[in-house]
A and B are shown apart, each in its own frame.
Chain A
Amino acid sequence: MNGWLEPKYVGWLAHGFEMTLLLSACVIVSATLLGVALAMARNARNGFVTRIAALYVLVFRNSPLLVQLLFWYFGAATLLPQSWMEWLNTPHTLSLSTFTLAWPPFEFVAGWIGLTCYATTFVGEEFRAGMRGVKDGQYLAAAALGLAPFGTFRYVILPQAIRIATPPLAGQYMNIVKNSSLTMAIGLAELSYTSRQVDTETFKTFQAFGAATVLYIATIAAIEVGLILWKRRSAHAWQRGNA
């Protein structure tokens, strides 16, 4: 066991954890937005749009995430012109009065795209399940009130669908956090990557991977707690009748 990690290596792990959180947050936001769009596309009246959406789900849900990440990082990169790759790989900063926004490394971009494409299928299917969980009577009632299709969706179906889909969505968000560890294969310095790096430099294997495990569990637990709080609040709102 021979003691705890030196501050330098704790710093590496902290940096990796920060990257895991940042990547997960970015993917959760983009996958949620695209997931709603995907669910709508799958329920669209236009047969062509539905088929394209179904094909997207087929492709991205039925292949391993690791292969997809390698495709985006190594494969897709060869298709881009050389000058684009040079631009993507050189640091760019955008200065906004007080803080600067740094262009992320290409590993981050590829990881973000890869995880988003993959997670969108699962998030989209959860939304679709939520929408199907809303009873037909609600559509008819909305129509009877004179709401147009968009109004029906926005004010009647979506609020109920979100409530039905939230618990499984939280599960998908947990998966996103855990799946982000696969980006270590494309060289993104997130938590799994830095814990491996600390292990090879210090030979303190237990401490390095133990710390990473604890941080992942803490992140997942935080999502769990968020879900419980949300459930409690919405239950109160439901009882007050102003959901």
Chain B
Amino acid sequence: MKIRFAGAVIMGLMLAVSSAAHADRLDDIKKAGVLRVATFDSNPPFGFVDPKNNQIVGLDVDYARAVADKLGVKLEIQPTNPANRIAFLKSGKVDLVFANFTITDERKKEVDFSTPYFASGTQFIAKKGVLKTPQQLNSLRVGADKGTTNEQQVRAQFPGATIVAYDDTPFAFAALRTGNVQAITQDGPKLVALLANVPDKANYEISPFTISNDYEGVGVPKGETRLLNVVDDTLKGLEANGTAGKIYDQWFGPSSRAPLPRLFKIGDPQKS
């Protein structure tokens, strides 16, 4: 009993020491004068290479730059992809991950997440004026991609909807154009990218609501509470002074190439 107690105390001390030894990443960043951030380099408009000057730009990059500016340090971008962004963070090669990083319980075991700064979810494209409220879906024929969670969510939430599943999104959109279905469903950002390439996109609109929500946050190394707090405060500050909305509008606003209504603001309560 005594030995076990002593063991627990030692363990506790070791943990305290180790976290104390690591939890000064914020000081390291300030000392180095550089914030190293991992972003996507081929996922427009979140992070992609601008062909004009070969720099990585995008929504995630703009938010990362705002955090760097708040800290008063230079921003250094490290290109990443969905497979290695957690590894970059855990091995200490980067300080933060801004890579359309969806917050999940599984990932929370590996990294800490900031407050969400972007949300996406299952949305719809329909002819202008057809789809205003979610309840209308119950009387519509809805096209979906085979095997997606979008298809399953519509089936579970709107039993009255007739779901017709196609092999991929362009097929579903072709069915919408010919009038075989009245709406098609996919994740909002994917619908936006699809609509951007359509010649008669003025006839269609993206639904002003989502029926499910994924939240994207900044990936922060586990246990770096001070760094996490600075990121959270910066994001909230960006919303308060209107910068967050401006950054969003630059990439998804009404005059952008791929307009998507802004349904989520930083600090909004999260829906499931």
Q: CB of B147 within 8 A of chain A?
A: yes
Whether A85 contacts B146 in the complex (CB less than 8 A), given A105-B162, A185-B167, A201-B152, comes out as no
Report the Cα distance A106→B177, complex, angstroms: 14
- The reply to whether A85 and B180 contact each other, CB–CB distance below 8 Å, is yes
0/1 string, B156-176, CB within 8 A of A gives 1: 000000101111000100110
**Which residue in A82, A187, A196 is a CB contact (below 8 Å) of B175?**
A187
* A82-B146 in contact given A74-B174, A185-B167, A197-B165 (Cβ < 8 Å): no
Whether A73 is near chain B, meaning CB under 8 Å from some CB there, is yes
Q: List, in ascending order, chain A residues with CB within 8 A of B265's CB.
A: none
Minimum CB–CB distance from A171 to chain B (whole Å) comes to 29
The size class of the interface chain A forms with chain B is: 10 to 19
- B interface residue count range (under 10 / 10 to 19 / 20 to 34 / 35 or more): 10 to 19
The answer to the question of A213 belonging to the interface, with a C-beta cut-off of 8 Å to chain B, is no
Contact: A89 with B165, CB < 8 Å? Answer: no
Partner of B180 from A89, A197, A200 at Cβ < 8 Å: A89
The yes or no answer to B58 lying at the interface (CB within 8 A) is no
Chain B residues contacting A77 (CB-CB under 8 Å) are: 178-180
B180 touches A193 (CB 8 A): no
Residue of A whose beta carbon sits closest to that of B143: A187
A86 engages B180 (CB within 8 Å):
no
Tell me what chain A mostly uses at the interface: helix, strand, loop, or mixed: helix
- Judging by beta carbons under 8 Å apart, are A74 and B146 in contact? no
Q: Would you call A175 an interface residue if the criterion is a C-beta within 8 Å of the partner chain's C-beta atoms?
A: no
- Across the two chains, which residue of chain B brings its CB closest to A201? B152
Contacts of A78 in B (CB 8 A): 177-178
Nearest CB of A to B62, in Å: 37
Q: For A187, give its contact among B164, B177, B179 (CB under 8 Å).
A: B164
A181 CA to B181 CA, complexed, in Å: 21
- Could you tell me the distance between the alpha carbons of A89 and B167 in the complex, rounded to whole angstroms? 20
Say yes or no for A126: interface residue by CB 8 A criterion: no
The docked-state distance in angstroms from the alpha carbon of A185 to that of B145 is 11
| A106 surroundings in chain B (CB, below 8 A) | 180
A210 to B165 CA separation, bound complex (whole angstroms): 21
Task: Tell me, yes or no, whether B25 is within 8 Å of chain A by CB.
Answer: no
A190 within 8 A of B: no
Determine whether the beta carbon of A200 is less than 8 Å from that of B179. no
Query: Bound state CA distance, A89 and B180, in angstroms?
Result: 6
Measured in the bound complex, the distance between the Cα atoms of B127 and A86 in whole Å is 13
Residue A125 CB within 8 A of the other chain: no
Contacts of A193 in B (CB 8 A): 165
Chain A positions 148 through 187: 1 when the CB is less than 8 Å from some CB of chain B, otherwise 0: 0000000000000000000000000000000000000111
Is B141 interfacial (CB 8 A cutoff)? yes
- A residues bordering B, Cβ < 8 Å? 73-74, 77-78, 82, 85-86, 89, 105-107, 185-187, 193, 196-197, 200-201
User: Which 5 pairs of residues, A with B, have the shortest CB-CB distance?
Assistant: A85-B179, A187-B164, A77-B178, A200-B147, A74-B174
- Additional A-B contacts beyond A187-B180, A200-B152 (7; CB < 8 A): A73-B178, A74-B175, A78-B178, A82-B179, A187-B166, A193-B165, A200-B146
